[in-house]
Amino acid sequence: MTVSKSVNADEQLRAARQSRLPQRDQPPPRRMFLLSHPRLSASLPLAQEMAAQVRASNIMTEIVTDKDALTTRHFEPGDMVVALGGDGWMLHAGRITAEAGVPVLGVNLGRLGFLAEVQPTEWRSVFDRVCAGDYWIEQRMMLHTEVWRDDQHQLSFDVLNEVVVSRGAVVRPVRLETHIDGGWLTTYVADGLIIATPTGSTAYALAVGGPILPPDLKNILLIPVAPHLSMERAIVLARGSTVTVMVHTEHEAVISGDGAIERPLANDDRIIVEAGLHSARFVRTQDPSYFYRTLMKRMGKNPAAEMIQNPNA
């Protein structure tokens, strides 16, 4: 019996390791949308260079500079989006392509570049590989959020990084009655509560002391912001959990998603957060351990802070 259990455990471990190996034999894209960031001067010229190389491989290309121009209805099987910008641009691209299942290749023109696959100096070799089908798809969990007021639905949205429920301009904490799968967890008295994906664990959640989660996990992370005499530890929830937050406040409160979606909240508003139906799909040519290499390069180095200290650097 002991030997059988040991063999079974070994088989499960081998299967788990095998499942993490990337499937690199992917179909070459039939069409590429080059999503150029309108406020980055280097983005459009680079997109034009990329378009010329991709067309030489008989792949259709289209350069897009309006972030709202691409919606689900524009996509067809075989499409790929190339996002030329920073991490915020990648988040936007991930949100607009998730429902259609369109993969996103990120070209880093920002400061940190946690999410992007390609640096501007190396794009030609990476594009050669992608056009030949030598890449794999990394799927990243998203969160679906609903806001209810007096049993009336107010708002729905999906995010890739995090949902934040927080105080507004008035510097007073809010009380956030938090339930997990219908059961009361705690009432946070805090500036806010971050509800993050593993992708978001290296964003705002990391800045307030949260743990770092590998991007392929499907767990939800809870971490309070400046809690006052209440639960201060981050909690990693089981896969498939649902978070419900009741807002209790006598002043302004807000909900935001990925730093791009923001709406005011009223007293007794109810927020429901759970895993989304769709995943963001990122194009990767590196091996899966790229995440840890990128993390170590970025940790202890904040380009935004360095730029303020030495603006001429």
What pLDDT does 18 receive? 64
pLDDT score, position 294: 85
Task: Evaluate whether residue 19 is within a structural domain.
Answer: no
Tally of structural domains, the chain: 2
Structural domain harbouring 45: 31-140+279-309
| DSSP structure class, residue 77 | T
Q: Report if residue 54 sits inside a domain.
A: yes
Examine residue 15 and state whether it is found in any structural domain, yes or no.
Answer: no
Q: 49 and 167: one domain? A: no
Contact 188, 178 (CB under 8 A): yes
In this prediction, residue 134 carries a pLDDT of: 95
What per-residue confidence (pLDDT) applies to 312? 45
Q: Is 62 in the same domain as 168?
A: no
In sequence order, the β-bridge partners of residue 224 are 193
**Number of alpha carbons in the 13 Å side-chain half-sphere of residue 311:** 1
Q: What is the CATH number of the domain that holds 48?
A: 3.40.50.10330
Q: Looking at the structure, tell me whether residues 71 and 111 fall in a common domain.
A: yes
The answer to whether the Cα torsion of 22, 28, 32, 34 is positive or negative is positive
CATH code, domain with 196: 2.60.200.30
> Which pLDDT does position 19 carry in this prediction?
64
Residues 164 and 128 in one domain: no
Residue 150 sits in the same domain as residue 211: yes
Residue 209 lies in a domain: yes
Q: How far apart are CA 17 and CA 113, in angstroms?
A: 27
Distance CA 53, CA 98 (A): 26
Q: Which of 66, 68, 87, 269 is catalytic?
A: 87
Per-residue pLDDT at 147: 98
Per-residue pLDDT of the chain (313 residues; tens, 9 = 90+): 555 666 677 777 777 666 667 777 899 999 999 999 999 999 999 999 999 999 999 999 999 998 888 877 789 999 999 999 999 999 999 999 999 999 999 999 988 788 999 999 999 999 999 999 999 999 999 999 999 999 999 999 999 999 999 998 888 999 999 999 999 999 999 999 999 999 999 999 999 999 999 999 999 999 999 999 888 899 999 999 999 999 999 988 999 999 999 999 999 999 999 999 999 999 999 998 899 888 888 776 665 555 555 544 4
Catalytic site includes residue 128 = no
